[in-house]
Amino acid sequence: MIPVEGVENQTIAVLGLGRSGRATVAALTAGGANVIAWDDGNDTREAAAAEGVRIVDLTRAESWHEVTALIASPGIAHLYPKPHPVIAQAYALGVPVDNDIGLFFRSYANEDWSYFDRAPRIIAVTGSNGKSTTTALIHHVLTECGRPAQMGGNIGTGVLSLEPAVDGEVVVLELSSYQTDLARALTPDVAVFTNLSPDHLDRHGGPGGYFAAKRRLFAEGGPDRAVIGVDEDQGLYLANQLGMGPSDDRVIRISAGQKLDRAAWSVFARKGFLSEYRKGRQAASIDLRQISGLPGAHNHQNACAAYAACRAVGLAPRQIEAAFHSFAGLPHRSQLVAEIGGVKYVNDSKATNVDAAAKALQAFSHIRWIGGGLGKEGGISDLQPYLGNVTKAYLIGHSARDFALELGQTPYEISDTMEQAVRQAAADAEPGDTVLLAPAAASFDQYPNFEKRGEDFTRLVRALQDS
């Protein structure tokens, strides 16, 4: 646990008592704060109270006496589409609102660091797609290379549940736009921006607000090094804003398709090869084609981002390359579940938006595509250029029929459920085909989250193996 600094004897309110909220209560208490808490769910409040959390109804004005700060969980709206009533009350009273990420950045360093030979570092990863894989890959490389490392944030352990730093440690954080948008302190040593595509637009008041939330990671704290994906206009803009000219190597530009040989420092992937360039000269190259845990161009972008971040903290190219080969990938992200009768079954349930699904569709050929769920604004018309690899689509969930209207000439079936889709795709598939779950939609119509959706797909595929 990371005890929160600077809160001794203060009354701090916590809103939201899920995983991060309960960890925040514990870390504030360890820092000497008097903690009161609230959650809209009665069952959640009762469970927290049973653990000793002091529950106070923050919707009532009299509850705010002596409260010096409100710490909100990331899933709670603080601005768009409108602030949660408790957060609106804090704004009206002038009570500062923060989240666990802000508390972590202001509390991670402590007096023990003066005795370390090598100061700990923080690598923070944000973007629309690839954050989790990039974060996990960086952590894997560091660990394989013998560097002490922890991973947390939006993946793995909540930030305040991480262990205090040890000499030379690197903490790798995945940070969502919900987390970066509200945090009052953001000071990573290395900040990574993977890419940007429309997502969570209701929570950020549109695409500009969404990008602004991501940009805060770079603008607020001024990282020593910034790793920026420049395959979209927003990344190009961000790299331009942070760099002081062509010779400034504090910005490492990355790409999954462009040759970047004019910047002071760049890493890019083309035709399955990763290249690092320094001051116009190639410094290293890695053949990514045989790395089974990183299939497809979208994972090659993740590899570029992870490689650049690891180089920024001093690892050598050959160390990184060796560690890449032992990376198994993450569940629900281009995860090879099985190969049955020459047919591959791939679980990319995390492809919850059109951009992520497009990347998955480009990574494989002869695809039996399982798509659908709770569709997002804009539909799937932007997938049209990538449907050439799709032999047939099997559509599930709430938006199955809406998706069907946007498939053009691509053959499809309305399967409705995952079980029907897997059964139909398996019956139709021929050796060399890939049955790919890449929904291009949220899961909430049939599953509580994308993980449960991917687990159901995996269960059904395993049953095929056993039959």
* Same domain for 411 and 312: no
128 marked ligand binding residue: yes
Strands 11-15 and 34-38, bridge-based pairing:
parallel
Q: DSSP letter string over 69-135?
A: EEEE-TTS-SSSS---HHHHHHHHHT--EE-HHHHHHHHS--GGGGG-SS--EEEEEESSSSHHHHH
Can you give the pLDDT at residue 49?
96
* Same domain for 306 and 165: yes
392 marked ligand binding residue: no
* Same domain for 391 and 301: no
Can you give the pLDDT at residue 363?
87
- Burial (Cβ within 10 Å: 0-12, 13-18, ≥19) of residue 226: buried
Domain-embedded: residue 389: yes
Can you give the pLDDT at residue 156?
82
350 marked ligand binding residue: no
* Same domain for 93 and 111: no
Say which residues have a Cβ less than 8 Å from residue 429's Cβ, sequence separation at least 6. Answer: 343, 368, 435
* Same domain for 201 and 319: yes
| CATH number of the domain where residue 410 is located | 3.90.190.20
Domain-embedded: residue 3: no
Of the candidates 387, 386, 382, 381, the residue with the CA atom closest to the CA atom of residue 406: 381
> Is 338:428 a contact under the CB 8 Å cutoff?
no
* Same domain for 157 and 92: no
Q: What is the chain's Cα-based Rg? A: 23
Question: In DSSP terms, which residues pair with 277 in a beta bridge?
Answer: 266, 282
Helix (H, G, I), strand (E, B) or coil at 26: helix
Measured distance CA(126)–CA(124) in Å, rounded: 7
131 marked ligand binding residue: yes
Instruction: Count up the domains in the chain and report the number.
Output: 3
* Same domain for 15 and 147: no
Measured distance CA(111)–CA(182) in Å, rounded: 27
Domain-embedded: residue 315: yes
* Same domain for 63 and 168: no
Domain-embedded: residue 34: yes
| CATH number of the domain where residue 159 is located | 3.40.1190.10
Q: Read off the amino acid at residue 241.
A: Q
Residue with tokens 């995996």: 458
Domain-embedded: residue 6: no
Helix (H, G, I), strand (E, B) or coil at 56: coil
Q: What angle do CA 32, 38, 41 make, to 5 degrees?
A: 145
Question: In DSSP terms, which residues pair with 226 in a beta bridge?
Answer: 191, 251
Question: In DSSP terms, which residues pair with 190 in a beta bridge?
Answer: 123, 225
Measured distance CA(93)–CA(222) in Å, rounded: 30
133 marked ligand binding residue: yes
pLDDT in tens, 32-84: 999 999 999 999 999 999 999 999 999 999 999 999 999 999 989 999 999 99
Say which residues have a Cβ less than 8 Å from residue 196's Cβ, sequence separation at least 6. Answer: 127, 128, 210, 211, 214, 232, 234, 235
Say which residues have a Cβ less than 8 Å from residue 345's Cβ, sequence separation at least 6. Answer: 336, 337, 338, 339, 434, 435, 457, 461, 464
* Same domain for 138 and 16: no
H-helix segments, 326-449: 354-363, 400-404, 418-428
pLDDT in tens, 277-288: 999 999 999 999
Name the token pair of 164.
């205090």
Measured distance CA(250)–CA(222) in Å, rounded: 10
Measured distance CA(136)–CA(172) in Å, rounded: 8
Determine the distance from the C-alpha atom of residue 246 to the mean position of all C-alpha atoms in its chain, rounded to a whole number.
30
* Phi, psi dihedral angles at 296 (to 5 degrees): 90, 160
Model confidence, pTM? 0.85
Can you give the pLDDT at residue 62?
95
Measured distance CA(88)–CA(142) in Å, rounded: 42
Can you give the pLDDT at residue 295?
85
Domain-embedded: residue 138: yes
* Same domain for 408 and 340: yes
CA distances from 101 to 243, 309, 345, 467 (A): 26, 20, 37, 47
| Four-point Cα dihedral 353, 157, 297, 249, nearest 10 | 120
Can you give the pLDDT at residue 197?
84
Residue with tokens 């139909």: 424
292 marked ligand binding residue: no
Q: In the listed set 298, 325, 352, which residue is the last one of a domain according to the structure?
A: 325
Residue with tokens 């945090």: 183
Domain-embedded: residue 235: yes
Domain-embedded: residue 5: no
Q: In the listed set 325, 343, 370, which residue is the last one of a domain according to the structure?
A: 325
Determine the distance from the C-alpha atom of residue 59 to the mean position of all C-alpha atoms in its chain, rounded to a whole number.
32
* Same domain for 207 and 184: yes
* Same domain for 297 and 184: yes
CA end-to-end span of the chain:
46
CA dihedral (351, 344, 137, 312) positive or negative: negative
User: Which segments in the chain show pLDDT lower than 70?
Assistant: none
Helix (H, G, I), strand (E, B) or coil at 377: coil
Q: In the listed set 80, 98, 116, which residue is the last one of a domain according to the structure?
A: 98
Domain boundaries, position 387? 335-466
Instruction: Give one word for 101, left, alpha or beta, with left for phi > 0 and alpha for psi -120 to 50.
Output: alpha
Question: In DSSP terms, which residues pair with 107 in a beta bridge?
Answer: none
> Is 137:125 a contact under the CB 8 Å cutoff?
no
Can you give the pLDDT at residue 129?
86
Of the candidates 388, 390, 378, the residue with the CA atom closest to the CA atom of residue 353: 378
